[in-house]
Amino acid sequence: MVTSEHTLMEICGGQTHTIMRYSLQELLPEEITLIHGPGCPVCVTPAENIDAAITLAADPRVILVSFGDMLRVPGSRDDLLSAKARGGDVRMVYSPMDALEIARKNPHKETIFFGVGFETTAPAVALTIRQAHMRAIVNFSVLVSHVRVPPAMEFLLSSSTSRVEGFLAAGHVCTVMGTGEYLPIAEKYRVPIVVTGFEPVDILMGIRESIRMLEEERHGVVNAYSRAVRPEGNPAAKQLLGEVFEVVDCRWRGIGWIPLGGFMLTEAYRDFDAMIRFGLHTEQSDENIVCLAGEILTGRMIPTECPAFSVRCTPEKPLGAPMVSPEGACAAYFRYGRHR
């Protein structure tokens, strides 16, 4: 069925994980190469945002609340768990709504939620902010660090060194956003973009559809995850997302500025921006030069090609985000035994 070589990229940490766990690359013919893209929002959170979270956590007036997977990611110096060890009130939650509850229960402190995640997560944060607004909960704010997948796709495709011929689009991002944002990208770059789920068979099906389209020289968007994704996405979630957040250029750690790659609060909700409330400004920080996260996140290198992988950089002593985050490529390679 495959007559020539093809390179596909997935931009979803969950898909990276499944591919590694089930060794899906080995089930495919040699002609097909799977590349891991920057599908790990934890990994692409700028170091300076983590530094800001640490600064806020050190303030005795603050309760800094975060998703668990951010706690061990190093900023430019250390991580939130270290800030906690030094006496900062750092807490972990499953849902941003839990952070609002912490604010409600602690009226004499400021509860700040560290908002990290793609368009799958941002609506829940938008909901929380709107609830805070409606319930006049004044001691709550958000350190906004949400990012958008389609601009990253476009950025990668527009690079002159791009080898990517097709994408597996992240299924859960698409349950919210639908498939519409991918149509102009598929048209402009003439690539197949196949909305794909997370089970091993979902990924194989997504790959099969992408390869079929490449072999037939067709491009466009196909939904291979229709049991959870509708073309229009979830209109109510999208509507709330648009009410609370607007699109902005932002930096993706390891990659650089991605035009329209992130979210900021709309004017109506800007009061809830923790950076503004606390008068903080971020400056780009220096990165650990040994960590090759940028190469890994853009699929130019696989973790086992990094000299530090499993030698100086392990989940216990990570040099960078892709080894810390459960959705990171380096963590997935390490966990599923791809050592030298």
Residues near other proteins (CB under 8 A) = 27, 67, 94-98, 117, 120-121, 123-124, 127, 131, 172, 175-176, 199-202, 204-205, 227-230, 234, 236-237
Indicate the residue among 81 and 97 with the shorter CB distance to other proteins: 97
- Name the minimum Å distance from CB 180 to other proteins: 16
Q: Give the number of other Cβ atoms within 10 Å of residue 135's Cβ.
A: 12
3-class DSSP state for residue 266? Answer: coil
Indicate the residue among 227 and 340 with the shorter CB distance to other proteins: 227
CA angle (241 as vertex; 236, 243 as ends), nearest 5: 95
Instruction: Confirm if 80 and 70 have CB atoms less than 8 A apart.
Output: yes
- Order of strands across the sheet with 110-117? 89-93, 62-67, 110-117, 140-146
Q: For residues 110 and 61, what is the distance between their CA atoms, to the nearest angstrom?
A: 6
- Name the minimum Å distance from CB 98 to other proteins: 7
Indicate the residue among 197 and 320 with the shorter CB distance to other proteins: 197
Instruction: Confirm if 42 and 73 have CB atoms less than 8 A apart.
Output: yes
- Name the minimum Å distance from CB 95 to other proteins: 3
- Name the minimum Å distance from CB 1 to other proteins: 10
Indicate the residue among 63 and 224 with the shorter CB distance to other proteins: 224
Establish how many alpha carbons lie within 13 A of residue 120's alpha carbon, considering only the half-sphere containing its beta carbon. 18
- Name the minimum Å distance from CB 208 to other proteins: 9
Indicate the residue among 43 and 255 with the shorter CB distance to other proteins: 43
